[in-house]
Amino acid sequence: MPPSPRPFLAGLLAGVLLLPSLRPAPLRAQPHAPSRGQVEAIRTIAIDERLAAAAGLTVGDTVRLAPTAGAMGDLVRVAAITRRGADPSEVARNEFKVRLHLDHLQALTGSGDRVGRFAVRSRGDASDEPNAAPDRVAAAINQAAFGFRAYPASAVAVETSSTFRVVNRFHRAIGVITIVASAIFLLCITLLKVDERRRDVGALRLIGCSRATVLRAIVLEATLVALIGSLLGAALGWAASAIVNWYYQGLYQTPLRFTLVTPGIVAFAVVLSLGLGVVSGLLAGRRLVRTAPLELVGR
Amino acid sequence: MIARLALAALTRRRTRTALTIAGVAVAAAMLLDMVMLGSGMRESFRGFIDQQGFQLRLTPRGTMPFDSEATVGGATALVGALRADPDIARVGPVLGGKHFVSVDTGVVAGFLLGIDPTAQGDYRLEAGRDPAAPDEMVVSAAWLAATGRALGDTVRVAGGYDPQLRRATGERTLRLVGRGRFQMLAANDRAAAVPLATAQAMGGAERADRVSVLLVETRDGADAEAVARRIEAGEPRLTALSTEAALKFVDERLGYFRQLAFILASVSLAVGFLLVTTLVTVSVNERIGEIAVMRAIGVARGRIVTQVVLEGVVLSLVGASLGLGLGLVTARWLNGILATFPGLPAAFDFFRFEPGAAFRALGLLVCCGIAAGIWPAWRAATLPIATTLRAEAVA
């Protein structure tokens, strides 16, 4: 996408301005053919790609931009089409965005020389702790300036990420339930698999194999099954993650990654599976080796 | 007889049966939770909307109620025109904004709603009465806690704050006449409702004769969708949002949870099916000799199939019954986590028990149990009797 040529003012307002309805049909963002005189004075805007797709706009089109539905507004030219950033807080919001030059939006809405907020970049010392400079600057502004409230970016991030912390806790809870279900499933399968070989184990015991040897063999087998299963599960998880990202990135038109398969997560899954495999093998094996060999062979 | 044989087969290996039932119970609990999650949000939101008693919400064109600070001017004329419509029974204009109250420790800020007390659906009275005079106010319990005031008190309330002059604007002296539960706000939100004219006056010239939302109740027999279309056609500044459109919007916003619910519910069904299939298959494999003997002494194939399928049904039924209780407990736990979403109305449930949907889901799990028993049952019933008996005797 071509970058915007000058700083633009982000405006949610635009969702109302260009879209008089939530429905796509009555969009008023139909391209207009400007007259020669209008071309001279025409201002430029940037629109997001969702709006471009919904209204069928491309760079160079002219549209009428009004502060309220039905008002005359200004004729403007689409100078850029922007792509959404990877901002989780915007994912589920279906609103369209238009960016205008600050003075243009002020004139269009009759806001005078007013702004909604300033973004300030601090100049920190090399010896500063992380966030020390922004905190210091915010405190200085709050102490000195009238009419402003300054927040360091970290405080804003904490506030806006609270929703995602809740979702994260929810996912962890679902994970706990899944682990419990997996543990029961694995124990059940191991028990069935070991039980299936009662006669083999009985024969091994009768020819002189010790209980410990039989138990070790069962545990080793359960561990190998768990290892292979966990590796297959990791591959399946990676594929599922790719599908989930592909689907939701397309659905919400965002570059945000919805699932991440990190080495840490894979290691956790493999270790957990191995642990469960060893424990289930031990439980099933101990139960079997305690049974009399003749009983195991059905005599 | 068949039932007794099926039960005997299941109780022969108690640990294994118990583990399978536990596995099916967890799968059933997960399935139930996901069904509750899938329908809970929608039904919870529908409950909120229906509770208000208004079928339509009219907002500034292209916006959702209170999704932005947009307002519509000429409210008096708009309300008059709407009330003249023969299909409209009630119109409740609402203006949303902020308010500020000075307390000993600083300034308490909160939501301010300008309402028509005779046609409002934003709060339910818990104590006191609706505001009847322009200087009366209903507040939330959180508001009272934050300001340390009580019903009957008189307070100075500002409609705005001028940061340049560091001075309150649009100040009024209001009397607390009621405590209400603001249905669309979180329990800890500080909210206040005053008559519409008072809220407009507190907002200054910018808010004079303006509203954020118009709540519309249609008359019995009137088609709300048709009324919505007519309003939109006649008034280009407004979007008319029906209950169904609002629910569709909620579906879009919370689509992630529904999709997650669908995926996890499908996985739960698959896990339950696999567990029952595995156990019944292994159980049949272990009893091949017995089954061959039963066939040899004249037991019909149908009876063998019925017995094996019955084992799967018993496992699924017992597991689903346990899963019902377990699912309700885990749903409560998960709902407690999601209830901490910032700004979520206190009475909003993500997990709502809808008996019809829940029992249909558990019924589906039992059907999976039946299906899981069919293959091993068919295999058992079609064993070559002589060959099997010989093989088992040698073994």
Q: Which residues does B41 contact at the CB level (< 8 Å), separation at least 6?
A: B250, B254, B257, B258, B348, B349, B350, B352
**By CA distance, what is A182's nearest residue in B?**
B23
A242 pLDDT band (50/70/90 cuts)? very high
In angstroms, the CA B338 to CA A92 distance is 17
In tens, the pLDDT along B303-346 reads 888 888 888 888 888 888 898 899 899 999 998 888 887 777 77
In tens, the pLDDT along B19-75 reads 888 888 888 888 888 888 877 877 887 877 777 778 898 988 877 787 777 888 888
Q: Which residue has 């195991």 as its token pair?
A: A296
Residue B163: per-residue pLDDT: 65
Are residues B276 and B17 in contact, defined by beta-carbon separation less than 8 angstroms?
no
CA atoms within 13 A on the CB side of B208: 3
Q: Is B271 on the interface with A (CB under 8 A)?
A: yes
In tens, the pLDDT along B98-116 reads 898 888 877 788 899 999 9
Residue contact A147–B163, C-beta within 8 A: yes
In tens, the pLDDT along A115-128 reads 888 888 887 666 66
Residue A93: per-residue pLDDT: 65
Residue B259: per-residue pLDDT: 82
Residue A92: per-residue pLDDT: 62
- For chain A, give every domain's residue range: 9-109, 183-296
Give the angle subtended at the CA of A85 by the CAs of A79 and A89, to the nearest 5°. Answer: 130
Structure tokens at A224: 């190998």
Q: Is 0.80 topped by the overall pTM?
A: no
Average pLDDT, chain B: 84
**By CA distance, what is B33's nearest residue in A?**
A174
Residue B179 has pLDDT above 90, yes or no: yes
In tens, the pLDDT along A12-41 reads 233 323 333 223 333 344 445 555 555 556
DSSP classification of residue A116: S
Burial class for B359, CB neighbours closer than 10 Å (0-12, 13-18, 19+) = middle
Residue A7 has pLDDT above 80, yes or no: no
For B358-377, what is the mean pLDDT?
81
Q: Is A15 on the interface with B (CB under 8 A)?
A: yes
Say which residue, B140 or B42, is predicted with more confidence. Answer: B140
Burial class for A24, CB neighbours closer than 10 Å (0-12, 13-18, 19+) = exposed
Q: Is A188 on the interface with B (CB under 8 A)?
A: yes
Residue A239 has pLDDT above 90, yes or no: yes
In angstroms, the CA B240 to CA A21 distance is 10
In tens, the pLDDT along A88-142 reads 666 666 678 899 999 999 888 887 887 888 888 887 666 666 667 888 888 888 7
In tens, the pLDDT along A63-78 reads 988 887 667 888 999 9
B178 pLDDT band (50/70/90 cuts)? very high
Q: Is A51 on the interface with B (CB under 8 A)?
A: no
Q: Is A181 on the interface with B (CB under 8 A)?
A: yes
**By CA distance, what is B164's nearest residue in A?**
A147
Nearest to B48 by CA among B109, B106, B104, B123: B123
